[in-house]
Structure formats: C-alpha cells, structure tokens
Structure 1
C-alpha cells in the first residue's frame, strides 16, 4: 500500500509518501515541503487572508498531483493549528475541497497529541516503559504521557514557536528583557499541565518530537539528519540553556546560517528553544531523546491499524 500524507501546518505544508505493508514499518519514499506561513497570513480578525488561502489552494493542488504521480492509493490530508484556530476555517476548507478535490481533516490539538504519542510508542516499543512526550509546533505545544499506545494525559497548549515569536519576540534579535519576561510567563503557563502530568506517574523515557526539537538537538551537537533516523539523538537541559544564550543574541539571518536551522524557521527557533527549556524545567527533564516519528507517522499507523483490522504491529527497532 502506497500512502500520501499531506500535513498543513502553521509554517509549512509537507507531503510524505510512504510504502506500508503488513508486519513492517512505513518506509518513506519521498518528502516534499513548501513554506506557506499560514499563521502569518492571518489578519487581525483571526481570518486566513485571501493571499494565504490562494497559496494554500495552489499548493494543495500541486501536492495532490505529486501524490497521484507517485502512485499513492490514498491521500490522507490534514490541517493543524493555523487552520484550526482561524475564524474562517470552514470557508477556507470548502474552497480547498471545491478547487482541488482534497478534503482536509482538521485535527483537534488533543488528537494531534494522541496520534504523535502513538508514533512514539511504536518507534520505541513496549520495552521503553512509561513515555513522556513533548512536541513543539508552530501554533501549539503538545504534552502527553502514558504506558500504553493511547496516553493517559494529553495536553495541547497555545505555546507554539511561531505564535510566541509573533506575540512576544518581534524584535530581531529579541531584547534581553523580553526573553526574560517570556521565560517567566512560560513557567507560569506550564505549572498546572506539569502538575497533572507528574501526578499521572513518573516516566521511564522522556522524548521530544517535531522539527523544532530536531533542530535544537542538532545545534547542541546531535548527529545530522544525513546520518539516518536510527542514530540516537538527544537534547540536554544544560546544552539547551547554553544554546539559548548564544542564539538569542543573533539575528534571524545569522541563525539561518547555522547547520540544522532552515531559513523559514530561523525567526522562531529562539521561541521554540524557550518553550523547550520551560517544558523540560517544569517537568524535571534533564535529557530528551529525539524521536524521528511524529504526527504524520501516527496518522499512517492509525490508517494501517484501521484498514487491517487492528492486526498490524509496527516496530521501528
């Protein structure tokens, strides 16, 4: 079975084409990305702008064509925070459907968290014990923990790297005082979620997913993506603190020159690092393992489980 997964996020739209079969893990065949910056193309009323909607329709049309030419038997298309939060999301979704034939499923924040947790569980397997997972997107932060495939506790908080950059760190580079105030605010926002996560039970393994965590790990010395997905990567609290002191003094253009930071994410990597730091501090995490699977893989796994009667067991290790 060849599947296409179309992910419309706050910053980018990403098409992942995989081959999946019974008794094995999804094998990536191709990956195509485009920077849409939907969150930035949202006006003061909370509506996705005409320009943002135009670009979304055109890109979905192009990517659907790529999926078809790649031989995908099915295209699973979904949208997260930027579309979910827009006041005119229904109108935009209707237009995408009418002009491209693609129906975008809007995931709730909690569904996003749960599907990401499923992917993490399948990657590490049952031997990992109880898992605590952190995922930083452009619009939201997902926090989950549990000992099964469905987490016991799942949070989706409006603490995404792009959102915080727009709301808090508009100067380039961000002011020292502003960074300090954001740190304090994040600590306060995470008190209650952290309390509930800790009350659910201590974790045997703490994990970070998402491009933000992969970039932060790379910037603190983890292996590059070219080394392959099975190379162990980690992010430490001490390394993260040192990194923030360094990148918060740089301009976005200078940060884009760093290995592991793409030009379309260089502006928000400081906010992403501050969210990661605050989350690790609130939860008492010294080291996070970086998992290469996340939301897209979770959707694929759910699809395989559903279509195959729940009989498929996927293991990456």
Structure 2
C-alpha cells in the first residue's frame, strides 16, 4: 500500500509518498518541498495573504498529480502553526479540497510534537534514551521527550511534548528586522526565547540523544559541514557539537540574507528567516547541555506516513 503525507507549514508545503518495507521501515517513493511562505504576515495580521494562498494552491495542484500517478491508497493533509493562527484558514481548506480531493486538518501543537517524535526516532539508528526531539519550524517549535523502542526492544513512547509559539518566521518578523539584525534586536530576541523556555514546563536535562528535525536544523547542519550545496544524505544523521551550533548561529546573525544565500546550501526563501531559527535552536541547545545535536531528515512527514500505514488517521483520496 502506498500513502501520501502532506505537511502544510509556516514556510513550506511538503509531500512524502511512502510504503512499508518487510522490516517495518518506511520506503520512500517521492518527497517534495515547496517554499510557499504561507505564514508570511500571519503573526501581525492573523490572516493568510492572497499571494501566499495562491503559492500554496499551485503546490497543491502539483502534489495532486503525483499522488494520483503513484496511486496512493490513503492520504493525510496536516496543517500546523500558521494555519492554527489564521482566521481565514477555511479559504485555504476550500482550495485544498478543490485541488487535491483531500480533507485537510489543523493539528494541535501537541499532536505535531508527537508525530515529529515518531518520525525522527524512526530515522535515527538506535538513539540513546531518553530522547529529546526538537522540531524548529517557521511558526512554532515543538519539544518532545520520550524513549525510542529500538533501544529497549519495546514500543516508542512519548513522556511529554510541548509546542511553543516561537518559530523562524514568527521571530524574524516580530523582533529581528535588521539585515543583519542589530545587537539590540538579538538581545531582545534571546530574552524572549528564554522566557518562553522558562514557561515550557518540560524537563530538558539528562537527555541521552538530542535530535533536531525540520529546515532550520538541517540547514544549520549543512553549514556546519561546509557543504557547497545541500546534500540530504550527508545531513541526515550528522551531529553538531554545542560549539558548532553557537558558531553557526553567530555567523548567521551577523550576515545579510544575500550573503547567506551565496554560501550555497541554503535556499533564498530559507535564508530570509534562518538567523531567527538558529537563535531559537541555539538557546535550546544551551538549556539541554547535550554533547551534540543530531540532524534528522525523518520528521513529521514520516510520522504521518507511519500512522497511515499502521491504521492511524487518514482516508482514501476522493476519485481514486
């Protein structure tokens, strides 16, 4: 059986088509990412802009063709932070239904964190328990602590997950206006993130494995590896020391968007907000105190696909 997982985030719209191998692992059939900037301005206005919606709809049309061509039996479209905040999200949903024949859904921050945890631990070979997974997105950051079943010959289990309203686009638009940001802007943003972490209510100490997913962490890892162009195979499973995280963050916060784009592995749309995402990651790394941050290309999409293949939420695309 083939399934399609669609993640509608603040910065990107992503598709993952997968099947289940005999050993229970996911077999990737197609994976796509499109920068649509759906969350552009949502933090200030509480609404999707017409241009952002049109960018999302064009991606939906492309993805619908792929899902039909690969004859997916089940599909799930999950929308996260920006859609949770947008008062006109029904306009997005109507457009998705029309173009993809799939019923979209807004998932809570807690469910987002659990799906990210399931996806992340499925892609990293035998991490040490307890595991902390960080999903640093455009509108929110999810932190979830739990255990990986491969370490204990048991089931993967989540102890606790939280979702914080701090993300790369949200923080960039709200506090880091300079290009590059000014020292005063950076200091204010760090203080804000620290306050959010103080109130998170999640124990970040004693972590055996610290895994980061999503574009901020994977882009920072590519920079730490000094890649001239993004290489998914080299990024997945690579580890950054705390010192490397601090160094990459400082470099991003003192560079212009044009300079970041010229480095090679970071796409222009990601470069616009990456310094803010890096600041968030850097503050969390300082709290966790782990020896290294492991980048995982397996994330919420993999968690959604696993659910679809094991009887979780989802449905057959209309017209199949």
TM-score range, shorter chain: 0.7 to 0.9
Out of 186, 194, 213, the residue aligned to residue 179 of structure 1 is 186
- Render the CA deviation track for 1:26-61: whole Å, top value 9, x for unaligned: 122222222211111548541212333333233212
Shift of 1:22: 4.3
Residue 83 of structure 2 is matched in structure 1 by 83
SS at match of 1:5: strand
- In the other structure, the counterpart of 2:32 is 32
Counterpart of 2:221 (choices 202, 217, 220) is 217
Normalised TM-score (structure 1): 0.87
Residues 263-302 of structure 1: pairs in structure 2 closer than 5 A:
263-302=268-307
**SS in structure 1 of the partner of residue 157 of structure 2:** coil
Gaps of 5+ in 1: 308-317
User: 1:62 & 1:122 partners in 2: Cα distance?
Assistant: 28
Match of 1:163 in 2: 170
Residues 52-75 of structure 1: CA deviation (Å, up to 9, x unaligned): 333323321221112212332333
The answer for the alignment partner of 2:119 in structure 1 is 119
Q: Distance in 2 between matches of 1:292 and 1:75?
A: 20
CA deviations on 1:168-213 (whole Å, 9 max, x unpaired) are 11221111221122112212221232x6324xx7222111111211
Distance 1:176 1:189 in 2: 20
Question: Matched residues in 2 for 1:53 and 1:226: separation?
Answer: 29
Q: Distance in 2 between matches of 1:48 and 1:3?
A: 28
Please point out which of 206, 210, 225 is paired with 1:206. Answer: 210
Partner of 1:38, secondary structure, is: coil
Measure, in 2, the Cα distance between the counterparts of 1:203 and 1:261: 29
2:159 maps to which of 149, 152, 159: 152
Q: TM-score, normalised by structure 2?
A: 0.86
Q: Could you tell me which runs of 5 or more consecutive residues in structure 2 were left unpaired when the two chains were aligned.
A: 149-155, 313-320
Distance in 2 (CA, whole Å) between partners of 1:109 and 1:24 is 27
CA 1:271–1:227: 2 relative to 1, 3 Å: closer
Q: CA deviation at 1:115?
A: 0.8
CA deviation after TM superposition for structure 1 residue 133, in Å: 1.2
The correspondence of residues 10-159 of structure 1 with structure 2, limited to 5 A, is 10-40=10-40, 42=42, 44-124=44-124, 128-147=128-147, 149-159=156-166
Aligned residue pairs total 304
Q: CA RMSD in A?
A: 2.4
* Alignment correspondent of 1:313: none
Q: Tell me the CA shift for residue 166 of structure 1.
A: 0.6
CA contact (8 A) 2:124 2:237 kept: no
- CA deviation after TM superposition for structure 1 residue 164, in Å: 0.5
Decide whether the 8 Å contact of 1:137 with 1:160 is kept in 2.
yes
| More displaced 10-residue stretch of structure 1: 69-78 or 81-90 | 69-78
- 1:145 Cα deviation (Å)? 0.5
CA distance in 1, matches of 2:289, 2:104: 37
Change (3 A) 1:127 1:158: closer
